[in-house]
Amino acid sequence: MTTKVKQSPRERLLEAAATLPYRDGVGIGVEALCKAAGVSKRSMYQLFESKDELLAASLKERSAAFVARALPPADDGRSPRERILYVFERVESLAGAPEFRGCWYLAVQIELKGQSHPASRVAHQIKAQLTAFFHAEAERGGASAPGLLARQLILVFDGASASAGIGADHLTGLISPTVTTLLDAADMH
């Protein structure tokens, strides 16, 4: 028999800050977050300086899971080209889920409209890590301009995530040929 470990108020707040704003937008109120977490506003403010800090902490805590879900495992035997394509296969796969709302880190940056917000800074760091992954793989794969290719791949990643997130396109049969064209044009192997 397994016993379920009860989450702490902090863990419940982090969970609420990960799910409600993703579904309803970052403008969700403190009361709604506290109600979903079963935590008083007073307790929330004892644990976090502000709602902004709570959102930033939630994004940061879930970044490892995002990276694990989006990127291939290190030293998995795939070629750099296959490792890049893996990321886009994951996007296409996730885009088919009814609850998919696009890349959470991109959505935060768009909704907050500036880099001074703590959550926006965290989201920017995570997106920079993804760009760095693309750049490193492009270099390993002999791309003619790895920096440019990394920027192009982020553009496709963000565009695909946003398009699927708002239900404008399901991405099937679109994303892989687009990325393949970029990889071919960059002489990536």
Query: Which secondary structure element, helix H or strand E, spans residue 158, and what is its range?
Result: helix 146-165
- 30: in domain: yes
75 shares a domain with 44: no
Distances (CA, A) of 16 to 34, 39, 40: 8, 10, 13
Measured N-to-C along each axis, helices 118-140 and 146-165 cross at an angle, to the nearest 10 degrees, of: 130
135 shares a domain with 71: yes
Give how many domains the chain has, as a whole number.
Answer: 2
101 shares a domain with 43: no
Distances (CA, A) of 157 to 132, 171, 180: 13, 11, 13
- 58: in domain: no
pTM above 0.85, yes or no: yes
What is the per-residue pLDDT across 103-134, written as a single tens digit (0 to 9) for each?
888 888 888 887 888 999 999 999 999 999 99
95 shares a domain with 38: no
- Structure letter (DSSP) for residue 186: T
What is the per-residue pLDDT across 70-88, written as a single tens digit (0 to 9) for each?
999 988 999 999 999 999 9
- 2: in domain: no
Residues with Cβ within 8 Å of residue 67, at least 6 apart in sequence: 126, 129
What is the residue range of 23's domain?
Answer: 9-49
- 27: in domain: yes
